[in-house]
């Protein structure tokens, strides 16, 4: 597919004019009057850079880089052939090995980032059950994260219950919250469902914010205990608190692995297939004897369980929770991970979490432009890889199925 040169440069000209129209008001309109120099300087740089890129593209299309393209293509083919021959379990073992060894080679700051990535991986995989498998667009998913976090926070502070006991309790509470929120909302389809879940997500946050007697409102809950274990030491079992970041890292890694295995099993189970059938055609699923409301509730509750587990860990790690952590932007982030990574795909969601949590940390220097880059990357992704970084296998095409 070659675009003709004149068309290419016309597109370039239109894009540059459009870019200036966007850029100038941002930099050029000031209280003292209108200004053109600053915006023009930036625009000129971008225009030159883009022109170089377009020229490169033209040269590439003309075959000027044949000497590079040939070998690199061959290398790519060889690489994919090698990756196909490596058994899946070996690849998984390598990834897991890297994850286990990670704390030995890195510093405190990296541990911190890795822990947030893993928390978001669990959240992403949980939301993936709801959005990717069952096809229910949920814009208030972070509410279950909040329910889990507050469940553990309150049980720990007021009753001194252990983290390990609270994990299943928080999971159950989140599932219950999922059912309570889901029962009235899941009768709706598509856009309506999205709006209503958005509303319920906010309701949960506002309740946490205003229920002073229980949640201490916007001041949050302080003094949450970390996880504890009985560790064999000096010939006897001693009680110890795990507050060290490394220890916390291994706990969340364990939770993440559990989540991956659970979601994988679900994906290929009879129920997972039914989730997909409901996503594809609800009426047809009903005609096949699927109770669609009950199934959607189940998807919602299962997704909520993982949100609750992640929330429990979050509270134990931060030692403090407040409603601020559960705003809509967090829901949007988790949804963005799922969409960016590839709906319904487990490695996709993991990649998406890495991309959205770890990369911004790496590029801390550009913090001011973070949201700007974020938006740009999302737009580009949706144009060039609309199915995500690592699309789910099920969504493959005919030719892919054959080989």
Partner 1 sequence: MSEAPILELKNVTSAYGRIKAIREVSLKVYPGEVVSIIGANGAGKSTTLMSICGVLKPESGEVWYDGQRIDGLPADLLPSRGLCQVPEGRRIFPRLTVEENLDMGAFFRNDNSGIEHDKNRVFQMFPILLERRKQHGGTLSGGEQQMLAMGRALMSRPRLLLLDEPSLGLAPLIVQQIFRIIREINEVDGVTVVLVEQNANLALKSSSRGYVLETGNVVMEDDAQALLANPDIRKAYLGE
Q: What does the binding site for partner 1 look like in residue numbers (CB under 8 A)?
A: 270, 273-274, 276-277, 280-281, 283-292, 394-398, 401
B/e letters for 344-361, b = 16+ CB within 10 Å, e = fewer, are bbbbbbbbbbbbbbbebe
Q: How far is the CB of 391 from partner 1 (least distance, A)?
A: 12
- Residue nearer to partner 1 on the CB measure, 280 or 367: 280
- Residue nearer to partner 1 on the CB measure, 216 or 292: 292
Q: How far is the CB of 187 from partner 1 (least distance, A)?
A: 13
- Residue nearer to partner 1 on the CB measure, 235 or 289: 289
DSSP letters along 308-348, please? HHHHHHHHHHHSEE-GGGG-HHHHHHHHHHHHHH-TT-HHH
Q: How far is the CB of 395 from partner 1 (least distance, A)?
A: 6
Separation CA 285–CA 298 (nearest Å): 15
The residue behind tokens 């309740």 is 207
Nearest to 171 by CA among 158, 159, 155, 193: 155
Q: How far is the CB of 296 from partner 1 (least distance, A)?
A: 12
- Residue nearer to partner 1 on the CB measure, 286 or 361: 286
- Residue nearer to partner 1 on the CB measure, 191 or 403: 403
- Residue nearer to partner 1 on the CB measure, 198 or 290: 290
Q: Which residues contact 183 (CB under 8 A, 6 or more apart)?
A: 297
Long-range contacts of 92-97 (CB under 8 A, 24+ apart): 96/257
Q: How far is the CB of 298 from partner 1 (least distance, A)?
A: 14
33: left (phi over 0), alpha (psi -120 to 50) or beta: left
Q: How far is the CB of 156 from partner 1 (least distance, A)?
A: 42
| Residues 113, 357 contacting (CB under 8 angstroms) | yes
């Amino acid at each position: 597919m070659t675009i003709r040169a004149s068309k290419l440069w016309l597109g370039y000209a239109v894009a540059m004019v459009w870019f200036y129209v966007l850029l100038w008001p941002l930099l050029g309109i000031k209280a003292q009057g209108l200004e053109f120099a600053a915006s023009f300087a930036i625009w000129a740089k971008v225009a030159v850079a883009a022109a170089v890129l377009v020229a490169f593209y033209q040269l590439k299309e003309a075959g000027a880089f044949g000497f590079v393209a040939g070998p690199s293509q061959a290398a790519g083919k060889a690489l994919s052939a090698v990756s196909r021959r490596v058994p899946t379990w070996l690849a998984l073992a390598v990834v897991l090995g890297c994850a286990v060894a990670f704390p030995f080679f890195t510093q405190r700051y990296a541990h911190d980032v890795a822990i947030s990535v893993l928390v978001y991986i669990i959240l992403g995989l949980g939301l993936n059950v709801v959005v990717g498998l069952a096809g229910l667009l949920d814009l208030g998913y972070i509410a279950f994260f909040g329910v889990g976090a507050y469940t553990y926070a309150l049980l720990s502070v007021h009753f001194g219950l252990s983290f390990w006991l609270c994990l299943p309790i928080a999971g159950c509470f989140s599932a219950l919250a999922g059912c309570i929120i889901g029962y009235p909302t899941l009768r709706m389809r598509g856009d309506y469902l999205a709006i209503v879940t958005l509303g319920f997500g906010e309701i949960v946050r506002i309740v946490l914010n205003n229920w002073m007697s229980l949640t201490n409102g916007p001041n949050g809950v302080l003094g949450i205990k970390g996880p504890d274990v009985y560790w064999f030491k000096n010939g006897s079992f001693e009680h110890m608190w795990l507050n060290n970041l490394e220890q916390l890292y291994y706990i969340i890694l364990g939770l993440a692995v559990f989540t991956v295995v659970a979601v994988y099993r679900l994906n290929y189970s009879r129920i997972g297939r039914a989730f997909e059938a409901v996503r594809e055609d609800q009426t047809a699923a009903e005609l096949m004897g699927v109770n669609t409301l009950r199934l959607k509730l189940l998807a919602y509750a299962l997704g909520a369980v993982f949100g609750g587990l992640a929330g429990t860990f979050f509270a134990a790690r931060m030692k403090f929770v407040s409603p601020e952590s559960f705003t809509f932007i967090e829901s949007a982030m988790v949804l963005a991970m799922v969409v960016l990574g590839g709906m319904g795909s487990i490695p996709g969601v993991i990649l998406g979490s890495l991309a959205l949590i770890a990369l911004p940390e790496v590029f801390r220097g550009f913090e001011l432009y973070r949201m700007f880059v974020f938006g740009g990357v999302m737009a580009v992704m949706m144009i060039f890889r609309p199915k995500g970084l690592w699309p789910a296998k099920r969504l493959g095409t005919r030719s892919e199925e054959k080989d």
